[in-house]
C-alpha cells in the first residue's frame, strides 16, 4: 500500500495512543509515536523547543511527508488548590500547552509548504469546566483550547485543519481501570471508537471542517 504520509502522535500512551496508531496504520499512514518513555527511536522531550525541532528535522530525513499531528500529551493532576505548588502548575502547563506550542510551530511550517494537513488536539471535560481540585489541570486544558482556537483562525487559510476534541469521560485502558476502580466500566469510552472519530476528523472535506468535537459515552451528560 502506498503511504498516505506520516502521522505524528505527540504524547503516545496506551489506550487511545495504541488505537490511533492501529487505525492510521490500517489506513496507510506511517505513524510516528513520540513520548519521553515511548519508542526509544523517537523519544523526545516535547517541552524542549530545540529537541522538538531536532525531532522534526529527523522526520524530514527519515519519514514520509508529514500529513498531520495528533497532540495527546497530558499530565493528569488532581489536588486542592492551596496544596498545589507553583512548580506543579508550571509542570502541568508545560506538559499540555508548551508541548502543543512547540509541536505546532514545527508542524505548521511543514504543512504550509505542502498546502495543508491536520492538527488535532485532545482536550477533556476540564477544557470547558473546572471542578474543585483541578486548578492546575483545567487551567492548562483551558489554555490548550485557546491555543487551538487561535491556530484555527490564523492557519485555516493555509489549508490546515485544526480541531480540538473534548473527551468528556474516561478512556478505557488497563491504567484507567486500575486508577478509577470505582468508575462504571460501561461509561468508559472505547479507544477504537474514539480513534475512529479522529480518523473522520482527519479526512473531512474542506467545505465542512469541524473545529471542535465534543465526545462522551451515551447518557453521560453532566
Which set of grid coordinates corresponds to residue 20? 490511533
Within a domain: 155: yes
Per-residue pLDDT of the chain (222 residues; tens, 9 = 90+): 557 899 999 998 788 999 999 999 999 999 999 986 667 889 999 999 999 999 999 999 999 999 999 999 989 899 999 999 999 999 999 999 999 999 999 999 999 999 999 999 999 999 999 999 999 999 999 999 999 999 999 999 999 999 999 998 888 766 766 666 566 666 788 999 999 999 999 999 999 999 999 998 876 665
Burial zone of 148 (CB within 10 Å; 0-12 exposed, 13-18 middle, 19+ buried): buried
Whole-number pLDDT of residue 37: 60
Quick check: is 220 in a domain?
A: no
- Distance of alpha carbon 82 from alpha carbon 68, whole angstroms: 39
Contacts of residue 156, Cβ cutoff 8 Å, sequence gap at least 6: 162, 209
> Total domain count for the chain?
1
Which pLDDT does position 218 carry in this prediction? 72
Range of the domain at 149: 6-215
According to the model, what pLDDT value does residue 220 have?
61
Residues listed for the chain:
222
pLDDT of residue 78: 93
Rg value, the chain, Cα: 17
CATH number of 91's domain: 3.40.50.720
User: Which alpha helices (H) appear in 37-126, and where do they start and end?
Assistant: 49-62, 86-93, 99-113
- Three-state DSSP state, 193: helix
Q: What is the pLDDT of residue 169?
A: 82
- The closest of 31, 18, 11, 10 to 172, measured between CA atoms, is 18
Domain annotation covers residue 55: yes
At 222 the pLDDT is 56
Amino acid at each position: 500500500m502506498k503511504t498516505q504520509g506520516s502521522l505524528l502522535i505527540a504524547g503516545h500512551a496506551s489506550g487511545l495512543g495504541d488505537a490511533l496508531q492501529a487505525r492510521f496504520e490500517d489506513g496507510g499512514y506511517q505513524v510516528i509515536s513520540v513520548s519521553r518513555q515511548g519508542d526509544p527511536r523517537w523519544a523526545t522531550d516535547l517541552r524542549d523547543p530545540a529537541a522538538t525541532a531536532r525531532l522534526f528535522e529527523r522526520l524530514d530525513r527519515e519519514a514520509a511527508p508529514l500529513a498531520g499531528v495528533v497532540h495527546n500529551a497530558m499530565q493528569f493532576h488532581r489536588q486542592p488548590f492551596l496544596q498545589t505548588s507553583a512548580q506543579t502548575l508550571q509542570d502541568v502547563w508545560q506538559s499540555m500547552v508548551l508541548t502543543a506550542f512547540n509541536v505546532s510551530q514545527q508542524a505548521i511550517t511543514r504543512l504550509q509548504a505542502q498546502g495543508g494537513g491536520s492538527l488535532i488536539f485532545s482536550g477533556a471535560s476540564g477544557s470547558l469546566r473546572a471542578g474543585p481540585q483541578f486548578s492546575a489541570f483545567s487551567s492548562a486544558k483551558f489554555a490548550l483550547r485557546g491555543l487551538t482556537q487561535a491556530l484555527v483562525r490564523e492557519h485555516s487559510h493555509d489549508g490546515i485543519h485544526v480541531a480540538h476534541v473534548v473527551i468528556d469521560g474516561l478512556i478505557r485502558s488497563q491504567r484507567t481501570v486500575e486508577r478509577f476502580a470505582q468508575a462504571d466500566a460501561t461509561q468508559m469510552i472505547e479507544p477504537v471508537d474514539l480513534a475512529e472519530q479522529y480518523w473522520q476528523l482527519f479526512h473531512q472535506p474542506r467545505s465542512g471542517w469541524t473545529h471542535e468535537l465534543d465526545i462522551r459515552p451515551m447518557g453521560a451528560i453532566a
